[in-house]
Amino acid sequence: MRIHRRTAVAVAGVLIGSLALVGTGAGTASADETSVALPSASFRDIVVDGVHDRVFVSDPTGGTIVVTDHDGNVIQQITTEEGAAGLALSADSSKLYVALSTIGAIAEIDTATLTESNRYPTGADTSPQTLAFAGGKLWFGYTVGSSGGIGSVDVASPAPTATLVPSGRYWYYAPALASDPADPNVLVAGEEGVSPATLAVYDTAAGDLRKRTERLFTAEPSISYLNDFAVTADGQNIVVAANNPYDHQIVRLADLSSNGSYSSYQFPNSVAVATDGTVATGASDYFVRTYRGGATWPTLHEYAVNGLQRDGLAWAPDENRLFAITGVSYGSAPTLHVLPDAGKLDTTLSLQAPATGRKGKDLTVTGRLSAAEPLPAGTTVDVTRQDAESPAGTAVGTFSVPSGTGEFTFTDRPRTTGDVTYTAIYKGDGAHTPATAQATVTITR
C-alpha cells in the first residue's frame, strides 16, 4: 500500500480538456489525457515508482501485477502472484510488496528486474489484503475465518517472519491501512464495507500496535461503507471516501473529529495525497478533482473519468501527473488513465477581435487570461499572426498580463487581405496549466 493511500466547491465552467470560448477565441490545455486498457481481469491496488518510472497495478483474479511506464505503456505482466491484492513500495522503491490473498503470503518483487525475490507466509488460513509501512515494518491487514486482523513483517531483518499483532479491537474484515507521511511510526486502520465505519490510529514505534485514538463514526460526521482513506502530507488530517455521506470527509488525525469536507457526488470511492500535499478525490460516477494541500477550494483540476474504481487513484512523484483506474464494475478489465497537470490550477485564455479589418490599418485585439486565483506578477502571453504572407506564422510580440484583471490588448497592422489568425499562447508555470487561444479576422482593402 502506498504511503499516501487508504486510502468543495468546484470552479464553475472549468471542464476537462477545454477552456472558455470568448468571441472568436478559444483556449485549450496543452497536455492530453491518455487511456490504456490493461491486460488484466480485475483491479485491487495501484502504486507508483518514481525511481524506475513505473506504475504497478494488481489483478487478484488473474494473479498478476501489470507494469506500465508513466505514460501508460504496458511494459510487463508479473505472473503467478496468487490473489494479488494490496501493494506497497519500500522507501527507496527497490522492492514492491504484494499481498497474496489466496495463499496467505506476501511477495517481494525486485523493481529493477521485475522478478519475485522472496515470499513471506502470513500464517495458516490468513488472507492478507492490504499493506502499509510504519515503524520500520511492513504491516498487513488480513482475514482469517470470519474476522480480520493486523500483522507485521520486519522485511529488513535477516530472516523476516510474519507476526499477527493484537490491535485492541475486533475487525469484521481485513482492515485497510495507511501510513502517515509526517510521522513514520503512525499507522491508521479502517474498516471497509460496514456501517458505521471505524478508524483507529496506532503508534508502532515499539514494534507493536499502541492505540492513540479510535472512533466509530455514528455522527458528526456519520460515515458508513468506507471505500478509501489517506493521511494528508502534514500528518494533520485523514481524508475519507465512503458511500455515505456524499462528500469526502476530512477528520483530524489527533482525535478523528470532523474538520470539513471536499465537495463530491454520490459514492466517493477514492482519495490520494501527493508528497507536496495536493489532494485528489474521486467518486465512481463523478469527476476526479484535485486540490491544493490544506484547501478545499478552488479546484485545481477536474477530470471526467466515469467508472472510477475503489482505491483507484495514485500520484506520480512530480505531483503533476495523476493515475486513475476505471472499469465497468468490480472484476472487469480495468483501464489506466494518465491525467496530466493534476497539481496545477486550470487557466482560461480568450481572444476577442473584430470580424473584419482593413489592410494597412491598425487592428486592436483584446485578450483575457484568468484562473480561480490571480496569476503572479510578470505573467506574459506570446502572440503570433498567420496570413497569406506568413502561413507558418510570425511573431507579433510578447504582452504582459496584469495580475488584477488578466486583460491585455495589442495592436497590429495587417499587410495582406484575406483571413488573418492571431494565436495567443500562455506557457504556464509550476502552478498553472498552459493555455492557447485564437481569433480570426477577415482583412479587406
Q: What is the pLDDT of residues 209-232, one digit of tens each?
A: 999 999 999 999 999 999 999 999
Q: Identify the sign of the CA torsion 73, 78, 79, 83.
A: negative
**pTM, full prediction:** 0.87
Amino acid present at 384: T
CA distance 285 to 308: 7
Q: Confidence band (pLDDT; 50, 70, 90) for 15?
A: very low
Could you give the percent of the chain with pLDDT greater than 90?
Answer: 83
CA distance 408 to 265: 38
Residue from 350, 376, 375, 403 nearest 19 by CA? 350
DSSP structure string for 43-82: ---EEEETTTTEEEEEETTTTEEEEEETT--EEEEE---T
pLDDT at position 332 is 60
Of the CA atoms within 13 Å of residue 226, those in its CB half-sphere come to: 29
CA distance 160 to 399: 63
Of 97-106, 163-172, 177-186, 329-338, which gets the smallest average pLDDT? 329-338
C-alpha cell read off for 29? 490545455
Amino acid present at 314: A
Of 88-92, 217-221, 285-289, which gets the smallest average pLDDT? 285-289
pLDDT in tens, 404-434: 899 999 999 999 999 999 999 999 998 899 9
Amino acid present at 422: Y
CA distance 13 to 25: 16
Q: Confidence band (pLDDT; 50, 70, 90) for 306?
A: confident
C-alpha cell read off for 45? 491496488
Instruction: Indicate whether 143 pLDDT > 90.
Output: yes
Instruction: Indicate whether 5 pLDDT > 80.
Output: no
pLDDT at position 210 is 98
CA distance 322 to 250: 21
CA 433 to each of CA 27, 271, 391, 409, 444: distance values in angstroms, whole numbers, following the listed order = 11, 22, 27, 22, 36
CATH topology of domain 347-444: Immunoglobulin-like (2.60.40)
pLDDT at position 147 is 95
Q: Confidence band (pLDDT; 50, 70, 90) for 167?
A: very high
Chain-wide mean pLDDT for the chain? Answer: 90
181, 235 Cβ separation under 8 angstroms: yes
The domain segmentation of the chain, as residue ranges, is: 33-340, 347-444
Q: Confidence band (pLDDT; 50, 70, 90) for 20?
A: very low
pLDDT at position 24 is 38
pLDDT in tens, 35-87: 999 999 999 999 999 999 999 999 999 999 999 999 999 999 999 999 999 99
Residue from 114, 148, 147, 118 nearest 130 by CA? 148
136, 126 Cβ separation under 8 angstroms: no
- CA triplet 69, 72, 77: central angle to 5 degrees? 65
Residue from 381, 387, 383, 409 nearest 395 by CA? 383
pLDDT at position 199 is 98
User: What would the mean pLDDT of 232-239 be, rounded to a whole number?
Assistant: 98
Using the structure block, give the residue that is written with the C-alpha cell 493534476: 342
- Give the containing element (helix H, strand E) for 364: strand 363-371
* Helices (runs of H) and strands (runs of E) counted in the chain: 0, 38
Instruction: Indicate whether 328 pLDDT > 70.
Output: no
Residue 376 has what DSSP assignment? P
DSSP structure string for 145-160: TTEEEEEEE-TTSSS-
* Partners of residue 238 on adjacent β-strands: 231, 251
Instruction: Indicate whether 8 pLDDT > 80.
Output: no
Q: Write the CATH number of the domain with boundaries 33-340.
A: 2.130.10.10
Instruction: Indicate whether 30 pLDDT > 80.
Output: no
C-alpha cell read off for 262? 471536499
In Å, the largest CA–CA distance within the chain is: 89
CA distance 68 to 76: 7
40, 368 Cβ separation under 8 angstroms: no
57, 68 Cβ separation under 8 angstroms: yes
CA distance 211 to 167: 8
